Structure 1
Amino acid sequence: MTTDLPAPHRRGSPGPEADTTTADPGRRRPRRGALIIAITVASVVVGAGSFLLYDRPSPASEPAGTSPRPPATAKVVRGDLVEEVRAFGPVRFSGDRAVKNQIRGIVTWTPARNAGIGRGEKLYSVDDKPVVLLRGRLPAWRAFAPGMADGRDVLALEENLAALGYTGFTVDDEYSEKTAAAVKRWQKAVGLPATGKIELGRVVFESGPVRIGKAVARPGDAAEPGAEILRISSPAQRVAVEIPIAEQDLAVKGARATVMLPDDSKTPGRITSVGADKLNKEGESVVPVSVRLSDPDALKSVQNTDVQVVLKRVEARDVLSVPVTALLPGDGGGYAIQVVQGTRVRLVPVRTGAFADGRAEISGSGISEGMRVGVPRL
């Protein structure tokens, strides 16, 4: 009986290599969901018990304080002990939502899926005239014309006109004759009748550039007020994963994460949202987590696949550690390790501390970095 974790769980910060080598069993794709790299004291006891099958010296045949040479060794290393939670999840675009048409007529053009639309660009066309995307958080809710009541929608329109280079008015919440003159210049440039008035539905306000998820309406369809015509989202991508509730202390909004891409490259990200705990398809309690990448272009080529998210927790900093399988039951309780120095093998008692990623923190008299200790053959 051994306590080795399956191969997919052992990816992460690798420990020192043993003196012996084994064939790589191959990479297996873990099931979707979280894979937890966790070592407990209980598993240490089980592993140590199996280790005793060949490690305990025979008092009748060996000098006191010595053991047979173990089948493999590993180094005592100094560094941080880091526990990892790994979870697979799909790549998604943030803020999926509908665009509803407000102009009666016939749809004559819609953009392609995944197209990016920015401020001042055509979002779709009705009767061969563009509906234009502008930037703003308040939806367009009325027509624009000289003499209309002041409002935040007027301010947003004027901010967009100025940003697009159509100036000559004071940017405020009043739709003046000078505003109308700038609107005429803009209308002429985008292929609209230069009236100085903007009908309801001719502009669509969004908080930033958008990505086209799909066109609900097709060219030739009737354009009816209130009908959904496009599905859009933010161009920003995120990864949606589920973390076991036992590890929910790692799921903190703003916490750092690492996203492992299908080509084995990695890119940094941060947790942007944490949902309420729920049961997943396997009946396990999990916490939904969204991770946004620091590089918005890192996932452009990643579609219709899952990626791996790694969350980390430092269990101990700047400590000496050995593989958990190096621990043996000590005389009178506690643990010991086999220290290998040339042809000499000594059983040395140690105190244990934190456990993480298959390693155990140790301390004790004569224990130093770089020392080699016995471990089972892998």
Structure 2
Amino acid sequence: MTADASTPGGESPAALLTAASTGRRRRRPLIAAALAAVLAGAGTGAFLLYDPPSLNPEPAVTAQLPPATAKVVRGDLVGEVRATGQVRFSGDRPVKNQLKGVITWVPTRNTGVGRGEKLYAVDDRPVVLLRGTLPAWREFAPGMADGRDVLALEQNLAALGYTGFTVDEEYSEKTAAAVKRWQQALGVPGSGKIELGRVVFVSGPVRVGKAVARPGDPAEPGTEVLRITGATQQVPVEVPVVEGDVAVKGAEVTIVLPDGGKTPGRITAVGANRLDKDGKSVVPVTVRLSDPDGLENVQNTDVVVVLKRTEAKDVLSVPVTALLPADKGGYAVLVAQGRKVRLTPVKTGAFADGRAEISGPGIAEGTRVGVPKL
């Protein structure tokens, strides 16, 4: 005659509290409103069917069973804050050509490009991606003035296995010899010189977001050829300031994908409070996907980021629909004991995810309490 309701469903009356009851400062008016809604709706009819006894003067016992029961559970009460954002690759930026000639090859969308690999081609010769933060701004050749760009080039040559020179800011003859070996491996004449535009420095691995130019297009200095991004997928979201305590750098989150699937993430940045487009105070949060494999095609797709907070640790709790208003204020639950039910006053604590922390006489882990039949 009982139905286990220890885990309320998404459309149950308990769902009325799921989002709203996460804030501790708001829990009292919210639980009262939610209980009123529960008792005014389908749940009321279920409870009224067996007319719970009065709490005065002593908790009463009745043989009339509730329509369903749920177990008192011990564990942490964890609240949720949900925010919607779009999956984006980090660091979107254009790649502009510095050579004069004809575009002969461009990569396809979502292609990953690493150090020493071809980014695109002009006149059937590769433009190569290298690691560095200083943009290439001049030709590399023996006799050039020392500089940080030379240091970055030599660091890349050494990382690619072309050595035999001192890694410093001087473009020596030994540097030129290493460049010749590298050029030959790329299939281009080994001149020992690198014309401006044949290498592009970026700070890390990149992904091709879009090819702007096509093979056969003229290559002119300053012309945009590609749009690239970082290889990291992230979701920027905004969390209401009143829920801002969940916005903690390094905290783990869950990302709900459009197909209902879930993937883990981690908060990598928390910005300063600001006003959103509706004039509400929010906290900007950046979430990085922890396991992005196979999710390249969800870029610019809306997802839900679930941020969690622990409201109470190692407590006894019941579905919020188990709470009944007591005659003299506060709350009570119907404790099912075999074929009898005892209406017992309880003290409430934290509320989270449609559950309420309770304590009181006869309340223990595994105790069954009455709930509406859903």
Moved more, 268-277 or 92-101: 268-277
User: Structure 1 residues 102, 143: closer, same or farther in 2, change over 3 A?
Assistant: same
Moved more, 238-247 or 330-339: 238-247
Tell me, in whole angstroms, the C-alpha distance in 1 between the residues paired with 2:319 and 2:243. Answer: 23
Deviation at 1:113, TM superposition (A): 1.3
User: Structure 1 residues 127, 203: closer, same or farther in 2, change over 3 A?
Assistant: same
Tell me, in whole angstroms, the C-alpha distance in 2 between the residues paired with 1:83 and 1:289. Answer: 18
Deviation at 1:80, TM superposition (A): 0.4
SS at match of 1:181: helix
- Quick check: 1:314 aligned with 2:307? no
Tell me, in whole angstroms, the C-alpha distance in 2 between the residues paired with 1:200 and 1:339. Answer: 81
Q: Give unpaired runs (5+ residues) of structure 2.
A: 12-17
- Partner residue in 2 for 1:377: 373
Deviation at 1:212, TM superposition (A): 0.7
Deviation at 1:129, TM superposition (A): 1.7
- Quick check: 1:353 aligned with 2:353? no
Tell me, in whole angstroms, the C-alpha distance in 1 between the residues paired with 2:364 and 2:184. Answer: 79
Moved more, 287-296 or 88-97: 287-296
Deviation at 1:277, TM superposition (A): 4.8
Residue pairs, 1:267-278, within 5 angstroms: 267-277=263-273
Tell me, in whole angstroms, the C-alpha distance in 2 between the residues paired with 1:197 and 1:121. Answer: 18
SS at match of 2:296: coil
Tell me, in whole angstroms, the C-alpha distance in 1 between the residues paired with 2:145 and 2:167. Answer: 15
Q: Among residues 53, 57, 65, which one is paired with 2:60 in the alignment?
A: 65
Amino acid at match of 1:350: V
User: Structure 1 residues 112, 334: closer, same or farther in 2, change over 3 A?
Assistant: same
Moved more, 115-124 or 251-260: 251-260
Residue pairs, 1:209-248, within 5 angstroms: 209-248=205-244
Deviation at 1:251, TM superposition (A): 1.8
Tell me, in whole angstroms, the C-alpha distance in 2 between the residues paired with 1:44 and 1:376. Answer: 16
Tell me, yes or no, if the aligned pair for 1:44 and 1:325 is still in contact at 8 Å: no
- Partner residue in 2 for 1:18: 5
SS at match of 1:142: coil
Tell me, in whole angstroms, the C-alpha distance in 2 between the residues paired with 1:140 and 1:303. Answer: 30
Tell me, yes or no, if the aligned pair for 1:89 and 1:239 is still in contact at 8 Å: yes
- Partner residue in 2 for 1:36: 19
- Partner residue in 2 for 1:332: 328
Moved more, 361-370 or 45-54: 45-54
User: Structure 1 residues 47, 374: closer, same or farther in 2, change over 3 A?
Assistant: farther
Moved more, 248-257 or 124-133: 248-257
Residue pairs, 1:1-378, within 5 angstroms: 17-18=4-5, 36=19, 38=21, 40-49=27-36, 50=39, 51=44, 53-54=48-49, 56-57=51-52, 65-67=60-62, 68-262=64-258, 264-277=260-273, 285-303=281-299, 305-378=301-374
Root-mean-square deviation (Å)? 2.8
Q: After superposition, what is the alpha-carbon deviation per residue over 1:232-288, rounded to whole angstroms, capped at 9, x for unaligned? A: 001211123332333222122222111233454433211122345556566655443
SS at match of 2:87: strand
Deviation at 1:37, TM superposition (A): 5.3
Tell me, yes or no, if the aligned pair for 1:328 and 1:336 is still in contact at 8 Å: yes
- Partner residue in 1 for 2:15: none
State the identity as a percent. 69
Deviation at 1:377, TM superposition (A): 1.9
- Partner residue in 2 for 1:7: none
Amino acid at match of 1:18: A
User: Structure 1 residues 96, 217: closer, same or farther in 2, change over 3 A?
Assistant: same
User: Structure 1 residues 311, 298: closer, same or farther in 2, change over 3 A?
Assistant: farther
Tell me, in whole angstroms, the C-alpha distance in 2 between the residues paired with 1:21 and 1:310. Answer: 18
Q: After superposition, what is the alpha-carbon deviation per residue over 1:287-330, rounded to whole angstroms, capped at 9, x for unaligned? A: 43221122242523535533332110000000001111111222
User: Structure 1 residues 17, 172: closer, same or farther in 2, change over 3 A?
Assistant: farther
Tell me, in whole angstroms, the C-alpha distance in 1 between the residues paired with 2:146 and 2:259. Answer: 54
User: Structure 1 residues 111, 86: closer, same or farther in 2, change over 3 A?
Assistant: same
Tell me, yes or no, if the aligned pair for 2:6 and 2:319 is still in contact at 8 Å: no
Tell me, in whole angstroms, the C-alpha distance in 2 between the residues paired with 1:117 and 1:248. Answer: 37
Q: Give unpaired runs (5+ residues) of structure 1.
A: 1-15, 26-34
Amino acid at match of 2:158: A
User: Structure 1 residues 69, 192: closer, same or farther in 2, change over 3 A?
Assistant: same
Q: After superposition, what is the alpha-carbon deviation per residue over 1:135-179, rounded to whole angstroms, capped at 9, x for unaligned? A: 112211221111222222111111111222211112222111000
Q: After superposition, what is the alpha-carbon deviation per residue over 1:77-122, rounded to whole angstroms, capped at 9, x for unaligned? A: 1000000112333221111001111112222221111111111111
Q: TM-score, normalised by structure 1?
A: 0.84
Moved more, 250-259 or 153-162: 250-259
Tell me, yes or no, if the aligned pair for 1:353 and 1:362 is still in contact at 8 Å: yes
How many equivalent residue pairs? 351
SS at match of 1:175: coil
User: Structure 1 residues 20, 117: closer, same or farther in 2, change over 3 A?
Assistant: closer
User: Structure 1 residues 112, 57: closer, same or farther in 2, change over 3 A?
Assistant: closer
